[in-house]
Structure 1
Amino acid sequence: MGQNATTSANSFLVCGLGNLGQYCVSVLKEFGVKVNAIEIANIQNWKIPDLPDLVDKLIIGDCRQLKILEQGEIRQCRAILIVTSDEGVNIAAAFAARSLNPDIRLVIRSAQDNLNELLSQNLGNFVAFEATQLPAKSFALAALSSETRGFFTLENRLLRVVRVPIDVSHRWHHRQIDEINSANRRVLTHTRPGKPLLKQFYQWEVDTKVLPGDTIAYIEATENLVARSARPVTSIRQLCAALLTGMTRRNLRSKLTLFWEESSQTRRVAFVSGIFIVILFLCGTLLYKSQYPNITWQDALNVALVLSIGGYDNLFGQLQLSFPIPWWLHLFSISLTVAGTVFVGILYAIMTERLLAARFQFSKRRPPVPKADHVVLIGLGRVGQRVAQLLQELKQPLVGVHATDLEPSVLSQMPLISGNIRNALNRVNITTAKSVIVVTDDEVANLEIGLRTHAVNPTANLVIRTFDPRFSENVARMLPYARVLGAYAVAAEAFAAAAFGENVLNLFSLNKQTTLVTEYYIEANDTLNGKLLAEIAYGYGVVPIYHAKAGHQSAKFMPSDDTKLIVGDRLVVLATIEGLQRVERGAIAVTQWFVRVERANSSEAVFEGAAIISRIAGCDMQMARTLMNQLPATLQYPLYKHQAYRLANELSKSQVSARIVRTPN
């Protein structure tokens, strides 16, 4: 939730001053808040040299103890960040903190997803992250030579962040930037060749034309994942379940079609023969019951079943039949027995195939190492495995390198070279690789491996994982050709943002800045309450990408700037940590632009113009009508440049001549 900038709870407590904890303190202090800290022992060598000066109060002790938490002034704190390297300590400290302060926000470091969900339900106002896995997507994307800079899912929609260079053949060449925006797309940044990147996020000139050599970064909502999230029906068992649960659904036909397309030839034969034998079985039951009315339905079913499983000799094996039977029913019985025998043979074949497949599953070999244009991933701990999963989702050819072998079930579709990493580099076609990601838990080893790979393949994208901030700076300075990502530096921004009550859904790196996907639930005292999305976007420098009205089922991706937030609304934005700071403090930029309305071509244009002004500017309808009845006149309601430009364009579409000016006169 967004917070009122004047809230009295402006103190925070950080437990654990390892790498992550020190980064969290540093980021929190950028908000200008009070930060106390608890550490189990005195720290002799600080990773961030000036950190002791940033901590307002440092307590040495065990953060699980109530008296230590009280010394950290937990009762006056707005949030506590428990980020020690021991998950057991973190969880125990969370319970202790909740017992002392029922309202404090708990932000802990934990990788136990199921436990975290239970803790959230029981403790309330709780969020947990795994610091080492948060940057995994940044590592994966840094290795790609594609234009994609980030991707995430939101409400079953896939959202992509793309950075694309413009040339003369591009469809956006010579278009105005605001024309690129659409119902599913928002421009994030625009840069000219040779010009420095803008420090502020979401800043671009609305009336600028896109020229060759420019670079545009944008976000777009693309694929609806509802259909894709349903696993394809590829087995007889899944098909039967679909038939039993979906007989009344309209998509039954599509399920059958999908099953047929996705199934192997063996499964298709089994499916068709199964339907055929069931039909013959039912026909046999009906024929015997109709021909011999004195037998029961159970006896008729039994006769048909015996014939279906090849029991012809049990009924007709005697020299003299014990009951009369017509020739056509006798012929049908023979046909049913033959069909049943064939079907049983097919079932035996399928069972044998499954048994053999299960028998040799353990000895199944991994795929071969790609020859060229692949990603070499070195280090397959928790972070490395998550990076590998992401690269596989992106359909990237990949080979993993790890000091020890992995279980056959772990990343089974990925080629793997295990053993001494330095020797393994000779076996992964490193000279033809397009990217190398080094994410072992030893940053010195990561540097050495990075230098070796660059010497062998200087054209490959090189991504190196580091931990120590000073080490990261030195490596980045020494290796300008490499992407050096500090794992904790990226994660700390998510922890700090969560401490203020914001729900960080995802993060990615764009233009050398960490961008957070952040969710707000609007409350009465929020700095966002009652504002138009245009004011939020251009005043705070954040990008609204999703809005849901309170109490309404419908929601909107890339919502209109004219939308006004009310209590209970849900808003998801893209923002840097600086943007979240501005929202937190209510530090909104000053509006400086005005709209000068010259004339209206008709009385209908006067009426429509007033409605447009009220909607886009957010002013009172009476003010808008008064303006339209006194033309020419300037709207005495300052706007942001993008907002004013859009208002002038919309007025022109309604036959009202208008222009934007910097001063009201």
Structure 2
Amino acid sequence: MERPVLLCGLGRVGWRVLESLRAAGLPVVVIDLKTEPDDPRLCGATVLKGDCRRHELLERAGVKEARGIVIVTSDDLVNISTALLARKLNPTARVVVRMFNQNLITRFGGAVKNTVALSVSALIAPVMALTAVTGDALGAFRLGDGPRQISELLVTDDSELAGRPVADLALQHGFAPLVLTPAAGSPVFLHAVSGQRVLSPGDRLTVTGRPADIQRLVQRLRGDRFAGVQWAGALRRWLRTARRTLLEVDLAVKIITPVLFGTLFASTLVFRYGLDTAWGDGLYQTVSIIATGGDLHGENRPEWAKVFISVLKLAGAALIAGFTAILTNYLIRARLKGALEVRHVPDGGHIVVCGLGNVGYRLVQELIAMNERVVAIDKVADGQFHDTVRRMGVPVFVGDATVPEVLAQTRAGAAKAVIAATDSELGNIEVALLVREMNAKQRVVVRLTEPEFADAVREAADIRNAISAPALAAPAFVSALYGDSVQALVPVAGRTLVVVDLVVNDADDHLNGASLRAFVLDHDLLPIALSGRDLADARGYRLKVGDKLTVVAELPDYERLLRFQQPPTNHRVVAESWPATARDALVPLVCVSRQCSREEATALLHGGAFTVADGLTFGAARELIELLEREKAKARLV
């Protein structure tokens, strides 16, 4: 029996991880505090009810024989405790741990052998950011020269994709086709996607490429027109700042300030025209009386002036005390930072991130790395990421993003995209609907939990970028079981594609010396990148120590590769005909393939059809046929 995977915790993420494990065909044993063994959602998975930190419960679950342990409860301490105990009971099994604490993510995985710590926010942020920038993203991974994304393109009647071969489009737009789902028929994957296939309306083409290339294509297909970040003039921005500053001032400050200055002005007039003093002396005497309570000794003043000065002293004391108290209280509670942020908000072309929790902060980081202009909104006045984000040059508005006035401050209606990433699903839906009221064509990315709810929002509310965070992150926890080389697992057309880095570690590695073309055909892998080489020029290349090959595969094919299952060697290549001018070029190829002398090869080429090589794998046979066809020979695979 195949060794099981232990899954600890069936919360929102845990259920999605269970689905991904089942999709990968792995046997699962679940430990959870609340789930009953007869829950129909388990679909036959074994469940032990209890605390996953208990030594005896882990042993009953088979931790010592497990191929891997995935720990995804909602408590960092529980996850860490369980991981350490599991590592003690099974020193060789791979442990995948969910973490919330950003400081622990890299440190814990590095400190505990064969353990990977993952954060849901770090996993979903790249895809959400790419979705906001490009309009669509099924998954994301990273190569040595930058990020790549996986997106789905829909062919419509008036689309520039319709009526064109896949290979021409791939060359023009710099993408690699992964899956073709025709309007009528079954989807075809990876190598089965013919470059000569002409796309028709209703077809869906899943591709991978650079985000910038995908963005330009998607924008053209959807009619988006973003001319970059748009800024108002400096004067206009400063006027906005002044207006916003005045709006932020408390009513009490607005009342007592004109009263105080009105009193100063009126008193100055009395001194100027009633007591015949100069303007400057009148103002000086007024301020002296109000501020210090001093009187005008040695001066012969009429009785009414003495009364006026006495009243001015009393009123001034009250005004100064009140003004000082009200202004001090306001300054303590002031939110002038938000007012001053207004001048840093573009008129359009930026991205608005609503919510600066763990997910929101990661989104800002990803967007800044993509050279996007970002404006953030957070409901918490003293959020832990505010200062860090401001140091990145991102203006932060403190307020409720579900209030239209707050969204209006960030120019959300004219933005490139708005990402609703708060911790409240209801709030995220409300933000999306408010933004759509401001601009019916606005691109909105909504963070949700349940994938069924996300599907309903996409279909019923026409918010096509509603994303289920647990469903998006769950495949990464499964991929971590296979090793650090797996970058992403992406469900497409009912199957799971895996993006993986294959590294030739040493001379004894089974990949060392393998023909690249034969290897990818034998294992049905689609090569995406080869370290230090252009794949277009890698014909006939043999892998060597130090090479890193990034491929896309269907998950079962990758599992067979992990188990070192050798492809069958029951293929034969028969050469049927060839031009006489090609004989000299074919002789060395026949010599190597048949392990024969030049004389024997020459004799074969002067005769009829013959077997060039036997006992080949499918990949080796296809590679040999391609070599023969390059010399204008006709050959067939048996």
For normalisation by structure 1, the TM-score amounts to 0.62
Q: 1:374: Cα distance to partner?
A: 3.3
Which residue is equivalent to 2:35? 43
SS at match of 1:422: coil
SS at match of 1:454: helix
Distance 1:123 1:623 in 2: 58
Which residue is equivalent to 1:380? 356
Q: 1:610: Cα distance to partner?
A: 3.3
Which residue is equivalent to 1:54? 44
In structure 2, the CA distance between the partners of 1:102 and 1:452, relative to structure 1 (3 Å rule), is same
Pick from 547, 572, 575: which aligns with 2:550? 572
Query: Matches of residues 447-466 of structure 1 in structure 2 within 5 Å?
Result: 447-466=429-448
Q: 1:173: Cα distance to partner?
A: 9.7
- Which amino acid counterpart does residue 387 of structure 2 have in structure 1? P
Distance 1:628 1:371 in 2: 73
Distance 1:44 1:115 in 2: 32
Which residue is equivalent to 1:495? 477
Which residue is equivalent to 2:61? 72
Q: 1:632: Cα distance to partner?
A: 3.1
Pick from 368, 377, 401: which aligns with 1:421? 401
Pick from 458, 472, 482: which aligns with 2:464? 482
Which residue is equivalent to 2:586? 606
In structure 2, the CA distance between the partners of 1:389 and 1:622, relative to structure 1 (3 Å rule), is farther
Query: Matches of residues 584-603 of structure 1 in structure 2 within 5 Å?
Result: 584=562, 596-600=575-579, 601-603=581-583
**Contact 2:2–2:27 under 8 Å retained in 1:** no
Which residue is equivalent to 1:410? 389
**Contact 1:9–1:76 under 8 Å retained in 2:** no
In structure 2, the CA distance between the partners of 1:639 and 1:439, relative to structure 1 (3 Å rule), is farther
The CA deviation string for residues 321-351 of structure 1, in whole angstroms up to 9 with x for no partner, is: xxxxxxxxxxxxxxxxxxxxxxxxxxxxxxx
SS at match of 1:91: helix
Which residue is equivalent to 2:454? 472
Q: 1:594: Cα distance to partner?
A: 5.9
Distance 1:122 1:374 in 2: 40
In the alignment, does 2:528 pair up with 1:545?
Answer: yes
In structure 2, the CA distance between the partners of 1:603 and 1:209, relative to structure 1 (3 Å rule), is same
Segment drifting more, 81-90 vs 122-131:
122-131
* Aligned CA-pair RMSD: 4.8
Which residue is equivalent to 1:236? none
Q: 1:534: Cα distance to partner?
A: 3.6
In structure 2, the CA distance between the partners of 1:566 and 1:419, relative to structure 1 (3 Å rule), is same
Distance 2:429 2:169 in 1: 45
Gap runs ≥5 in structure 2: 214-335
Pick from 437, 450, 460: which aligns with 2:419? 437
**Contact 2:518–2:618 under 8 Å retained in 1:** no
**Contact 1:137–1:508 under 8 Å retained in 2:** no
Indicate the structure (1 or 2) with the bigger Cα radius of gyration: 2
Which residue is equivalent to 1:315? none
Distance 1:657 1:558 in 2: 23
**Contact 1:434–1:459 under 8 Å retained in 2:** no
Which residue is equivalent to 1:217? 207
**Contact 2:134–2:212 under 8 Å retained in 1:** no
The CA deviation string for residues 340-382 of structure 1, in whole angstroms up to 9 with x for no partner, is: xxxxxxxxxxxxxxxxxxxx99997465332233333222211
**Contact 1:59–1:72 under 8 Å retained in 2:** yes
The CA deviation string for residues 265-302 of structure 1, in whole angstroms up to 9 with x for no partner, is: xxxxxxxxxxxxxxxxxxxxxxxxxxxxxxxxxxxxxx
Q: 1:136: Cα distance to partner?
A: 0.9
- Which amino acid counterpart does residue 378 of structure 1 have in structure 2? C
Distance 1:80 1:362 in 2: 46
Q: 1:110: Cα distance to partner?
A: 2.1
The CA deviation string for residues 149-190 of structure 1, in whole angstroms up to 9 with x for no partner, is: 7765434556566878999999999778299679x9772247
SS at match of 2:578: strand
Q: 1:118: Cα distance to partner?
A: 4.4
Q: 1:482: Cα distance to partner?
A: 1.7
**Contact 1:497–1:577 under 8 Å retained in 2:** no
Distance 1:197 1:132 in 2: 35
Distance 2:373 2:423 in 1: 24
- Which amino acid counterpart does residue 42 of structure 1 have in structure 2? K
**Contact 1:546–1:571 under 8 Å retained in 2:** yes
Distance 1:641 1:458 in 2: 53
**Contact 2:95–2:116 under 8 Å retained in 1:** yes
Which residue is equivalent to 1:321? none
Distance 1:18 1:594 in 2: 54
Distance 1:202 1:367 in 2: 52
Query: Matches of residues 6-25 of structure 1 in structure 2 within 5 Å?
Result: 10-25=3-18
In the alignment, does 2:344 pair up with 1:368?
Answer: yes
- Which amino acid counterpart does residue 542 of structure 1 have in structure 2? L
Distance 1:154 1:414 in 2: 27
Q: 1:383: Cα distance to partner?
A: 1.1
Query: Matches of residues 551-562 of structure 1 in structure 2 within 5 Å?
Result: 560=538, 562=540
Pick from 369, 372, 382: which aligns with 1:396? 372
Which residue is equivalent to 2:192? 203
SS at match of 2:444: strand
**Contact 2:162–2:201 under 8 Å retained in 1:** no
The CA deviation string for residues 394-452 of structure 1, in whole angstroms up to 9 with x for no partner, is: 23343222212453332442233321222122333333334222121122322232233
The CA deviation string for residues 576-604 of structure 1, in whole angstroms up to 9 with x for no partner, is: 54554554577899899966441142442
SS at match of 1:484: strand
Tell me the matched-pair count. Answer: 502
SS at match of 1:10: coil
Q: Give percent identity, aligned residues only.
A: 25
Distance 1:421 1:442 in 2: 11
SS at match of 1:135: helix
- Which amino acid counterpart does residue 402 of structure 1 have in structure 2? D
In structure 2, the CA distance between the partners of 1:634 and 1:54, relative to structure 1 (3 Å rule), is same
SS at match of 2:13: helix
Pick from 11, 15, 22: which aligns with 1:29? 22
**Contact 1:379–1:402 under 8 Å retained in 2:** yes
Q: 1:74: Cα distance to partner?
A: 0.5
Which residue is equivalent to 2:74? 85
SS at match of 1:572: strand
- Which amino acid counterpart does residue 545 of structure 1 have in structure 2? I
Q: 1:623: Cα distance to partner?
A: 12
Q: 1:520: Cα distance to partner?
A: 3.7
Higher helix share: 2
Which residue is equivalent to 2:331? none
Pick from 85, 90, 99: which aligns with 2:88? 99
SS at match of 1:76: coil
- Which amino acid counterpart does residue 139 of structure 1 have in structure 2? M
Which residue is equivalent to 1:325? none
Q: 1:651: Cα distance to partner?
A: 3.4
Distance 1:104 1:583 in 2: 19
Which residue is equivalent to 2:628? 651
**Contact 1:206–1:645 under 8 Å retained in 2:** no
Distance 2:182 2:345 in 1: 39
In structure 2, the CA distance between the partners of 1:530 and 1:631, relative to structure 1 (3 Å rule), is farther
**Contact 1:545–1:559 under 8 Å retained in 2:** no
Distance 1:557 1:485 in 2: 34
In the alignment, does 2:113 pair up with 1:130?
Answer: no
**Contact 1:599–1:631 under 8 Å retained in 2:** no
